[in-house]
Amino acid sequence: MKTLGKKIRLLRHQKGWSQEDVAKRLDISIPAFSKIETGITDINLSRLEQIANLFEMSVVQLLTFNDAEYEQKYLNELENVNKKLMDRETEVIDLQKKVIELFEELRQSKATA
């Protein structure tokens, strides 16, 4: 069960939730949830379903969830976001160049007028 507790903790961290947040959503005490994460308490099927639903997963997904696969998914997402950010930065630089060019044209047209 310790492995399952680690998975639950990782999922909780991914959501940015505290133990208190999850405990409230599960309607249990913080110490009770902490014992689930640390593997001290065994989880019955109904609690397992409740936790899986909380993280928008099926029980099977929660049980077979692989940390490495999950991290790879987020690394891929991060890579895509970084690419989009770089594309936006390129667009901003191009727009800045255009503004400078237009400013120079305006300045030259005023100088010759």
Residues 87 and 53 in one domain: no
Residues 10 and 56 in one domain: yes
Does position 35 have pLDDT exceeding 90, yes or no?
yes
Give, in order, the Cα–Cα distances in Å from 18 to each of 22, 52, 60, 62, 98: 7, 17, 24, 19, 47
User: How much is the pLDDT for 95?
Assistant: 96
User: How much is the pLDDT for 103?
Assistant: 94
Tally Cβ neighbours within 10 Å of residue 54.
Answer: 18
User: How much is the pLDDT for 56?
Assistant: 93
User: How much is the pLDDT for 102?
Assistant: 95
Residues 76 and 103 in one domain: yes
Which residue, of 65, 84, 104, is where some domain finishes?
65
Q: At what angle do helices 2-15 and 19-26 cross, to 10 degrees?
A: 100
Residues 54 and 24 in one domain: yes
Does position 1 have pLDDT exceeding 60, yes or no?
no
User: Mind listing the pLDDT tens digit for each residue in 90-108?
Assistant: 999 999 999 999 999 999 9
Residues 58 and 78 in one domain: no
